Amino acid sequence: MSYRQGMRETERFLFLLDCLRFDDRSTRTMRLRTDKLALVRNVWEKFVQNCRDSYLPSEHLAVGDRLQAFRGSKCSFVQYMANKSCTAAKYGLRIVALVDIKTSFTCNMELCCGQQPDGPYRLSDDPAATVHRLISHVKGFFANVVSCDGRYASYPLIVSLLDDGITFLGAVGTAQPEVPLCFLPRKSRPAGSSLFGFRDDVTLVSHVSHEKNKKTLVMLSSGHHDADIDPRTNRPVIVEDYNAAKDAMDAIERTRAMYSVSRRTTRWPLAVFFALLDVAGMNAQVLYNVSRRESPHKYRRVFLKNLALALLKPQLQERAKIKTLPLNIRAVILHQVGDCEGNQHELEQSSSRKRNHEVMNDEGAARKKGRCFMCGRAKNTSTTLKCHNCSRFTCKRHMACIKYTCEKCETKANEGKRSPSRALALYTAK
């Protein structure tokens, strides 16, 4: 693509990526004594805080684990997660995320690094405490949280969330002490059967699937208070709502992994940075569609491309101000910026200054000839043409012509309207 010519070289980009750091090296040793995430703590907290402040989620939320692929050797909290079907990786960094199911917006995240050293960052690893921290900014608003992983659902958690006006739905393990023995898996139970239990505002259901293995699902919910069965699937409504939320969460993860910026790396801070970029791309699309409901971006690929070009524009504008930049590269940059009239005027001024300088030097004398510096003394080619960039004699054989016309001017030309020529033609040495 032509805009790549206006940016840095690939080797330069890879060098900068290799040198990328997110903390102060002078205080790193001291901060690592109390925080395992000291290398990314600053950028992580700022990003998560922006996610919480920039969007008010709907009442349908989901809590689930994400796996950021990583197999580096200098990381003590790499985990094995084989049940993540959205990615082929099995090892990586586990991130617990709170996601709005309706819009796919990631509202809050927490990076799991095991037990922290003694200090201000040592928090409880209990699943209930993790859920409370994730939904702390939505307490006071009515919300229904669905746990897409069995580790986060428990009876004490559901009761404590009811005090904040938040309902909870999730699958519980059979080892939970609150689950009666009759709700546990048994071979004698027929396929498709369901058992319901009620206690205050919490409902317990045990459903045997129609599959050959007759898998038993045990779920707790504080938002369902009836023993309703869906007549289409012969399953409890609690199970149907849980499956719908889990399918939506899996679809969000597949979409995020489809256009991921992650690259193979041996540094876990860079892997965390890649994860933040993926989340930033999805959240940016949600915010854009919410702010512009008339013309939303439906395709993630198109939005990410436009977002990348929009992020490139300030850098291109700053680089175009470099006086010693070759005119062919400047022409590419200014063409990508999009301001045809202003860019042409700027380039014409630059070219006219050089031409005036040449005219002043050659004033009162005949037009000089010189040997083409590209041909050398062997061919001894004489020419009167000069490069607009370096002002050296260059023959037509080694002269390059760069032409750009904006879409607006090209459309007017096709329609037959009279308009001043805005095509840009620069002659530079190859």
Does 176 map to a domain? Answer: yes
Specify whether 317 is located in the same domain as 250: no
Specify whether 73 is located in the same domain as 163: yes
Specify whether 225 is located in the same domain as 258: yes
Q: Quick one: pLDDT at residue 363?
A: 45
pLDDT confidence band for 331 (50 / 70 / 90): confident
CB neighbours of residue 105 within 10 Å: 24
Does 363 map to a domain? Answer: no
Residue 124 scores a pLDDT above 70 = yes
**Which amino acid belongs to residue 331?**
A
Burial zone of 100 (CB within 10 Å; 0-12 exposed, 13-18 middle, 19+ buried): buried
Q: Quick one: pLDDT at residue 364?
A: 39
Q: Quick one: pLDDT at residue 294?
A: 76
Does 282 map to a domain? Answer: yes
Specify whether 174 is located in the same domain as 280: yes
Q: What angle do CA 196, 202, 203 make, to 5 degrees?
A: 15
Classify 310 as helix, strand or coil: helix
Specify whether 323 is located in the same domain as 380: no
Q: CA dist 325 to 7, 328, 333, Å?
A: 12, 9, 11
CB neighbours of residue 312 within 10 Å: 17
Does 342 map to a domain? Answer: no
State the average pLDDT over residues 420-424: 41
Residue 268 scores a pLDDT above 90 = yes
Does 179 map to a domain? Answer: yes
Q: Quick one: pLDDT at residue 280?
A: 95
Domain boundary among 317, 336, 355: 336
Helix (H) or strand (E) holding 248: helix 237-258
Does 420 map to a domain? Answer: no
pLDDT confidence band for 8 (50 / 70 / 90): low
Structural domains of the chain, count = 3
Does 344 map to a domain? Answer: no
Specify whether 121 is located in the same domain as 188: yes
Cβ atoms of residues 76 and 159 within 8 Å: no
Q: Determine the angle formed by the axes of helices 155-162 and 127-134, rounding to 10 degrees.
A: 30
Classify 126 as helix, strand or coil: coil
CB neighbours of residue 216 within 10 Å: 17
Domain boundary among 291, 321, 349: 291
Alpha-carbon dihedral 221, 226, 231, 235, rounded to 10 degrees: 30
Nearest to 55 by CA among 131, 110, 106, 101: 106
Nearest to 37 by CA among 117, 99, 97: 117
Specify whether 231 is located in the same domain as 317: no
Q: Quick one: pLDDT at residue 322?
A: 82
Burial zone of 80 (CB within 10 Å; 0-12 exposed, 13-18 middle, 19+ buried): exposed
Q: Quick one: pLDDT at residue 421?
A: 40
pLDDT confidence band for 418 (50 / 70 / 90): very low
Whole-prediction pTM? 0.75
Extract the tokens encoding 186: 């048994």
Residue 62 has phi, psi (to 5 degrees) of -140, 140
Specify whether 117 is located in the same domain as 173: yes
**Which amino acid belongs to residue 395?**
C
Specify whether 102 is located in the same domain as 250: yes
- Distance CA(286)–CA(278), nearest Å, equals 13
pLDDT tens per residue across span 276-294: 999 999 999 999 998 887 7
Specify whether 176 is located in the same domain as 311: no
Nearest to 222 by CA among 108, 142, 150: 142
- Distance CA(191)–CA(181), nearest Å, equals 18
Residue 342 has phi, psi (to 5 degrees) of -65, -40
Range with top average pLDDT, 68-72, 345-349, 411-415: 68-72
Q: Quick one: pLDDT at residue 424?
A: 41
Specify whether 62 is located in the same domain as 191: yes
Does 349 map to a domain? Answer: no
Nearest to 154 by CA among 201, 113, 202, 84: 202
Lowest mean pLDDT among 198-212, 261-275, 332-346, 360-374: 332-346
**How high does pLDDT run on average in the chain?**
82
Specify whether 257 is located in the same domain as 330: no
Cβ atoms of residues 51 and 287 within 8 Å: no
- Distance CA(391)–CA(91), nearest Å, equals 58
Residue 358 scores a pLDDT above 60 = no
**Domain extent for 191:** 20-291
